[in-house]
Structure 1
Amino acid sequence: MKKMILLIPAMLAVSALSAETIPLSEWNLPETSKKTNTAIEAVFGGEKYGTLFWGPFRKAGNAKIWQLTVKLNGSGEIQGSLGCYSEDKKRFLTRHPFSFETKTVHAREKSRDLTWYLTLPKDAGAVGWIRPVLRIVSGKFTIHQIQIEELDQMPPRKNYLDTTCRMPGEVLPDYTEPNLFAGFKGRDGGEPLGIQRELKLALAENASSVSLVSDPIRVEPGDKYILTGLYHSADLHFGNAGGLAVLTEEKAKNWTGDLEAFRPYSPLAVTELVNRREGEWARRTIQYQVPEGVKSVRIGVFLRGDPASVRWRSLYFGLGPWQQDTRSQDFDLSWHYEKNTEPLPEEEVNAVLASRPEASAEILPGNSPRVLLNGNKEIPVIYFGDAIDAARNKTAAFQEAGIDLQIIPIFRKGYYWTGYRQYNFEAIDRTIMENIRRNPRGNFIIGISVTPYPSWAEEFPGETAVNRVGAQQTSRDGRKNLPCYYSRVYQEQVLEYIRQAIEHMRQQPYFKAIAGFHIIGNEDGQFYYQVKYGRYMDEAYSPAAREPFRAFLRKKYGNDPEALKKSWKREDVTFENAEPPRTPRPLDTFFWDRSADMAYWDVSIFMNEAMGEFAEAMCQAAKEAAGKKVIAVMWWGRGGEQFVQPHFAQTHVILPAAGMDLMGGQPGYFGERNNGLTSYYPWIPDSLRLHGKIPMIEADFRTWTTVYKSLQQDSHVVRYWTPDSFRNALLREAGRLFSVGGGLWFYDMTAGWFDDPKLMESAALVKRIAAKLEKNDTPFSPAEIVFVADEDNFLATTEQLHCWNGPNFHSVRKTQRAMMRSGLKYDFLYLSDLIAQESTHYKVFCFLNLYHVTPEIEAWLDTLRRDGRTLVFVYAPGYSTDKGLDVDNISRITGIRTEKIEAGSQKSVFVDSPCTQGLAGKNAGLENALGLVRFRIDDPDAVPICTYTDGSGVSGAMKKFPDYTVIYLALPSPFTPAFLSRLAGYAGIPVFNRTPGDMFVHRRDDLMVLHGVEANTNILCPPQGKKLYDMTTGEELPANSDSTVEITLSPGETRILECR
């Protein structure tokens, strides 16, 4: 066994004769760090991928395992790895492991030894030399000594994570830091509960929540901890929430009360748990960083909602790494690249291109828009290739699965757009041909990134994104000097790059295979908001946005300065000096006050509509430059998601225009895409369909083939551990989108995400289902109930500038969970489309967010008050008026007398009424925690539907008028599946699934999609004269004598049924 000690500096030589002293000069020294007489002061310098310290070269020899040990003081995160080089030292091969293992350290006084065990890549024979690498991810350290040692075998690692129980197929890391959680005390005095002995939480009939809190656990301020555990349930229902929590001593004193208390703004997503099959477990993981001054914490576990029970076990709380755990170190990424298909010779490819027809694509409008690809109608199912290195794409594998419409990303910053009006066309050609040489008969969409080149901000300093105090912003992934989205200079350069790049492509043989363009850029490639100051969105504060903002104001106010002054309530404001207000609006309400806050409202409108105009201009530029029919794609929309500003410009900009065709989005985070949940539509899907736009869900699914980061990331993004769980999740997402006229793309984000025959079988199955549905060419007949979102009112609330979720998030996004589990066929439309289409055939109109009602909308509402219709209003209809916030206007709009009451819990339960039969005592709605603004119904002529549990009165009621009925629900997210089913029955609307609770989507007349949430026996009612066929097997499902079909689902199971 050989050992080398790398001492810093040389004067610290160890007495061992075998030790080799390495001169300090052989370690690189980044600018942010410095040498002292005894150590290196290593400081994180803000680099995107961390601050790197490279050690000296060492001959790799025959060693396969290296032990790297660092003695240091300090606080932050540090990673260790090996740099691998060729025999002549000239060629860098890789770093290994590819994902560094992160260690979190808080050793301000006493030094600490950190150890990494590092292996060489599988093809270690190509490695001639190695260099130890340290990467500072955050903080600063004083490094005293580094040792590297060759080992014959890997020493055993002590794992404090319980591995005796896990999710099916789950790969667990080794947690070498002790488990500080000692378990909850059991009443029998036996082994503590929650570690290897199960803990059961049961919610009784009359209880609203149940929780348990551990004894104190000693912690260090600043340390980063992981809390993880397994749970099982089979009887969770709509609205049940639960999970784990880390509590300070202060919070633990009244935690049960806190679970029921209102919050000014809600958490991102309700903490939904999932049902699982008998013997199967699910995992919940959270991260926790100890605040300053906190010396001890407690672990809490809770359950709330309607009666249910959950079992917990294998809880761990300790310094498990937040990122890059031991699985990252052990994961061998190279096998994904080895199996890639070899490209065909270029001469052969050019011959194929010369003989093939010209690729073209356009949207075929109609009742159900389709992509017309080379003259053939298609429901789009697309392969989206590796965003990092296009040479790694699996174009041939997906083509064999029938998916030959594929996206080639040319995304690398500074690699293609290299300078002001400078472009690397050779690199563009090389990247595109890398893919086409593997599938020359395929059809391709070229992804063009318009993120500017690295020196752009230095060349155009006045055009960057800054916050309200003038500070430059850093993106979520560490990029600096961001462009201002509204800069005319930036926009003009982007349009020029798009035109020049496509005009160059037109001259190349491969252009015959190109059928479209996908424009991406900046924050996450999706033009998310990128400038925040505290909790406020500051996109409009750049000097570059000043003139575009003023031009927007001139247009809005008809170039009338008096109208601007009157709206902003400022005599000194003009079109020449108007700027976004620099004082943050206090977080004391959800709603902008139109009598005082129009400047804030105008900023919000400007940011969204100007960004929409830029997006439309980019799509149009690509189409015009192509010189043939092509489609334009962007990540865009998000009206149903309510979490991606500034994308809310559909009704005024994107939908009426002809530029953007396909609009991409993800199926949720924070566990929302887990099997056993519904997720949500990121768009308002029926409005997209009406305007000839196609929503595309992104299957960026992590599986056992995907690089590991941490258990928390597995929980946040969701990792599917088995072919069965992947297949059911994929079918759920594909089925949901096909049902509303959408499509799906497989995003192979960093190579090999679908590199398994079982995964490709599921991909091919989705394509076959799409092809079968396309042949049906079935129209979308109108539903009898419509859920209505008003895009103008997305910007009526403070949540769009405060970057925090509020009423729209609850009313538009969370409400979808009840909609998709109601068993109903429904439409989901923007208000403007409902009015424009003169769609008055519906029996029930559910208005989700009519916070501000214009005279024109009010007049239109009056036309609905007849013919026995039911109008349902949610939360605060008409509360925002031109004269201020006025609860009396809610009474006027609804016809039900309402009053505002003090802030408090909005938790409500149903009472007996004509539309709530059998629901009395059940919880109303989902996670109604937004108690900052509350309303109470005080109308003797109205029949109560639900009441506040704190005794504050009626929170929902119905009132019959001679020709119509009004239901007013004073809760942001008031619906449950059972309530919607009862409402439909009351209004005489068909219920297609008589047992609401599981996900059921039936929008296309020929398609029903189910996913097991509550795992019911679903009693389906096919359209008259139709039979049901399983689209995965072709099997006809047997019907009962009354023509109903019964399907019992397992938790997380998906069934896609054809009606014919």
Structure 2
Amino acid sequence: MGVTSKIAPYGGVPTLFVNGEPQVGMAYITYFQENNRYEDFAKAGYNLFTFATFFAGQTINETSQIKPFSPGIFDVKGQEDYTDFDRSVEQILKACPNAMIFPRVNMSLPAWWEDENPDELNDTGYGGNRRRACFSSKLWRRQSEEFLLKLIDHVEASSWCDHIVGYQIASGNTEEWFSFDQKGSIGKASRERFLEWGGDVSDEVGYRQFLSDIVADGIAYLAGVVKARTHRRLAVGSFYGYTFETPFWQSNHMGLRRLLNCGDVDFLCSPASYMRVRAPGRDWPCMTVLDSLKLHGKAYFVELDTRTHLSKFPKDSREGSTVPGTYEQPIWLGPESPEVCRWILRANISRQLTHGYNSWWFDMWGGWYASPELMVELRDLREIGASVLHGTDRRSIAEVAVFIDETCYSHLPDGRALGYRIAAANRDQLGVCGVPYDIYEISDFEAVQSNYLACVMLIPAMTADMERALARCKQADLPVLVVSQENPDLTTNALREFYADCGVWNWCDTDDVIYASNDLVAIHAATAGKKLIRLPQLQEIVPLLPGGESFTDDVIEVELEQYETRLFALKS
């Protein structure tokens, strides 16, 4: 039969199971294999790993022209080469013999295929670069399928196949299904396919939405290919659904509804938000509609490429790895303070554990976490994750739901600024007002609206589904705060006032980051000083990080340094 993996409910949230056992959803990956820290993470208790593999050696980011970090399997026509794939698996198994591995498979096609199929490419390349494959192309999909099947067959024939517990399928710019042309993947194939789907040449809104739907359809199709070839034994997922992080139709990420309803896609992934350039003292929200994923039984993995005081520019980790002048901005470096770095890692996992999702530490160029102090922190966080995993109720305790309609961006032909202002930027205030919230795509409104005391509607452009939801709120006497072109900017004061009028519990009123669940509460301090966390009831409180003696109260009072994070267990 071989190894099996699946996503199934456990403690009320979608959870990864391998061979019938629930797993701690914390993994490790690096791009530069020569700088890997597999052994460090194995010693810290990690046994879930992933690595990047590439069908082709073409650039993985058209805007920076960075190349893949290992040779493409299919770079030479008719001569596939799995040497680097096999070596990566063997490196992991050497460090962790019981490793469970789900490779990230970048299916972007080789140059020889694109040269042979000019009609299957986008009309233009980004910034004058070569033209790349169009996601609407049937031949692109067929070739991707052929290569994917060859890789799976290679894995299934290997001696270590039972260590491969799933696949993350990837393609497009930065491996995240963004178009290579950065215009939505527009080409001869997209125009023809739109008409085949029943589109009208005069329907610009419909065409813009189609460009996302066809990408989601391709992901669903290729996930089905993996499912069929592995006899539905393994979990399959993909980057997709950046509804808030890339709030414009050209991103191709506004077809998530198709994947939510696809039985072949088990998990979805994204990095943590880059909002505010990952500033300490702020919430790092999900890029996607997390609670719609959970509602539909999909697990979510956040990519924690969290920079530390040990982070370097890639050119300093591998000579010649980048084009001069690229990847040399401050965002590629972390805080200078090792202690602040530890607190940020703690905040990352506190968010994960209180929100019911999974993660991998993305040690991009290698060595970002290579200090005893950081590895002790990462060990402790995984141990807490293991203890929380078996909690009886890991469901959200949020009393507020935030909704957005992914199709609204198709109504904004040039609406990047507006989409960012309403959908992306307002997550900052939502994350520091002291009130947990859940976040959904509007198509799930009817299924969940009765679970909440209040709603926040983010509306860059009005849609029929959003109008129906607003009418339903009025009928049900459900308080709603509308954020639209007329009222585009949230403030913490406005949110707290609205929540207070609705009877929503406020955990903290000092604009610090609060994460809370049935069993945990954490605070990540935006400023130094005395902080009060108000609990909804009298509870036993156990300091976890840092540790301490338990006490019973309905208030946690702590004196914190700026950016400090503390995590507590709650016991009724």
| TM-score bracket for this pair, using the shorter chain length | 0.7 to 0.9
Distance 1:863 1:455, change over 3 A: closer
Look up the equivalent residue of 1:508 and give its one-letter code. Answer: S
Residue pairs, 1:736-747, within 5 angstroms: 736-747=351-362
Q: Is 1:1035 the equivalent of 2:548?
A: yes
Give the drift of 1:1038.
4.6
Q: Is 1:726 the equivalent of 2:341?
A: yes
Look up the equivalent residue of 2:392 and give its one-letter code. Answer: D
Deviation string 1:942-961 (CA, Å, 9 cap, x unpaired) is xxxxxxxxxxxxxxxxxxxx
Partner of 1:997: 511
Distance 1:984 1:1036, change over 3 A: farther
Q: Is 1:409 the equivalent of 2:66?
A: no
Look up the equivalent residue of 1:399 and give its one-letter code. Answer: A
Checking the alignment, whether the CA contact within 8 Å between 2:402 and 2:438 is kept in structure 1 is: yes
Name which of 971, 977, 992 aligns with 2:487: 971
- 2: CA distance between counterparts of 1:1049 and 1:373? 40
Look up the equivalent residue of 2:513 and give its one-letter code. Answer: M
Look up the equivalent residue of 2:18 and give its one-letter code. Answer: L
Distance 1:712 1:1017, change over 3 A: farther
Name which of structure 1's ranges 751-760 and 449-458 shifts more when overlaid on structure 2: 751-760
Give unpaired runs (5+ residues) of structure 1: 1-356, 557-563, 565-577, 579-597, 877-969
Deviation string 1:552-597 (CA, Å, 9 cap, x unpaired) is 2x1x6xxxxxxx4xxxxxxxxxxxxx4xxxxxxxxxxxxxxxxxxx
Partner of 1:843: 453
Residue pairs, 1:275-314, within 5 angstroms: none
Name which of 798, 809, 812 aligns with 2:423: 812
Distance 1:1044 1:426, change over 3 A: closer
Look up the equivalent residue of 1:998 and give its one-letter code. Answer: D
- 2: CA distance between counterparts of 1:473 and 1:600? 22
**Higher relative helix content:** 2
Partner of 1:1047: 558
The TM-score normalised by the length of structure 2 is: 0.88
Distance 1:866 1:490, change over 3 A: closer
Q: Is 1:544 the equivalent of 2:192?
A: no
Deviation string 1:291-338 (CA, Å, 9 cap, x unpaired) is xxxxxxxxxxxxxxxxxxxxxxxxxxxxxxxxxxxxxxxxxxxxxxxx
- 1: CA distance between counterparts of 2:342 and 2:52? 26
- 2: CA distance between counterparts of 1:359 and 1:482? 36
Name which of 42, 48, 73 aligns with 1:399: 42
Partner of 2:134: 484
Residue pairs, 1:595-634, within 5 angstroms: 599-627=203-231, 629-634=233-238
Give the drift of 1:497.
0.8
Checking the alignment, whether the CA contact within 8 Å between 2:27 and 2:359 is kept in structure 1 is: yes
Report the number of matched residues.
544
Name which of 365, 368, 374 aligns with 2:9: 365
Give the drift of 1:781.
5.2
- 1: CA distance between counterparts of 2:309 and 2:532? 35
- 1: CA distance between counterparts of 2:276 and 2:394? 34
- Provide the alpha-carbon RMSD of the alignment: 2.7
Distance 1:408 1:867, change over 3 A: closer
Partner of 2:66: none
Checking the alignment, whether the CA contact within 8 Å between 1:379 and 1:770 is kept in structure 2 is: yes
Q: Is 1:1018 the equivalent of 2:534?
A: no
Name which of 683, 708, 727 aligns with 2:288: 683
Residue pairs, 1:196-275, within 5 angstroms: none
- 1: CA distance between counterparts of 2:562 and 2:326? 22
Q: Is 1:660 the equivalent of 2:260?
A: no
- 1: CA distance between counterparts of 2:537 and 2:82? 58
Structure whose alpha-carbon radius of gyration is higher: 1
Name which of 392, 404, 413 aligns with 1:798: 413
- 1: CA distance between counterparts of 2:45 and 2:3? 17
Partner of 2:480: 871
Residue pairs, 1:531-930, within 5 angstroms: 531-532=181-182, 537=183, 539-540=185-186, 542-552=187-197, 554=198, 564=200, 578=201, 599-627=203-231, 629-643=233-247, 645-651=251-257, 653-669=258-274, 671-708=276-313, 713=328, 715-780=330-395, 783-799=398-414, 805-835=416-446, 837=447, 839-849=449-459, 851-854=461-464, 858-866=467-475, 868-876=477-485
Give the drift of 1:848.
1.2
Look up the equivalent residue of 1:1026 and give its one-letter code. Answer: Q
Distance 1:375 1:799, change over 3 A: farther
Look up the equivalent residue of 2:41 and give its one-letter code. Answer: F
Look up the equivalent residue of 2:368 and give its one-letter code. Answer: W
Look up the equivalent residue of 1:738 and give its one-letter code. Answer: L
Give the drift of 1:667.
2.6
Q: Indicate the structure whose relative CO is greater, using CA pairs within 8 Å and at least 6 residues apart.
A: 2
Q: Secondary structure at the match of 2:174?
A: helix
Give unpaired runs (5+ residues) of structure 2: 58-70, 316-324
- 1: CA distance between counterparts of 2:394 and 2:95? 37
Deviation string 1:202-229 (CA, Å, 9 cap, x unpaired) is xxxxxxxxxxxxxxxxxxxxxxxxxxxx
Partner of 2:113: 456
Give the drift of 1:849.
0.9
Look up the equivalent residue of 1:695 and give its one-letter code. Answer: Y
Q: Secondary structure at the match of 1:382?
A: strand
Look up the equivalent residue of 1:435 and give its one-letter code. Answer: I
The TM-score normalised by the length of structure 1 is: 0.49
- 2: CA distance between counterparts of 1:713 and 1:972? 34
- 2: CA distance between counterparts of 1:458 and 1:866? 58
Give the drift of 1:838.
5.1
Give the drift of 1:851.
2.9
Deviation string 1:267-313 (CA, Å, 9 cap, x unpaired) is xxxxxxxxxxxxxxxxxxxxxxxxxxxxxxxxxxxxxxxxxxxxxxx
Q: Secondary structure at the match of 2:165?
A: strand
- 2: CA distance between counterparts of 1:748 and 1:787? 32
Give the drift of 1:1056.
2.0
Name which of structure 1's ranges 664-673 and 719-728 shifts more when overlaid on structure 2: 664-673
- 2: CA distance between counterparts of 1:404 and 1:466? 44
Q: Secondary structure at the match of 2:222?
A: helix
Checking the alignment, whether the CA contact within 8 Å between 2:101 and 2:163 is kept in structure 1 is: yes
Distance 1:799 1:440, change over 3 A: farther
Partner of 1:433: 90
- 1: CA distance between counterparts of 2:41 and 2:96? 10
- 2: CA distance between counterparts of 1:858 and 1:643? 20
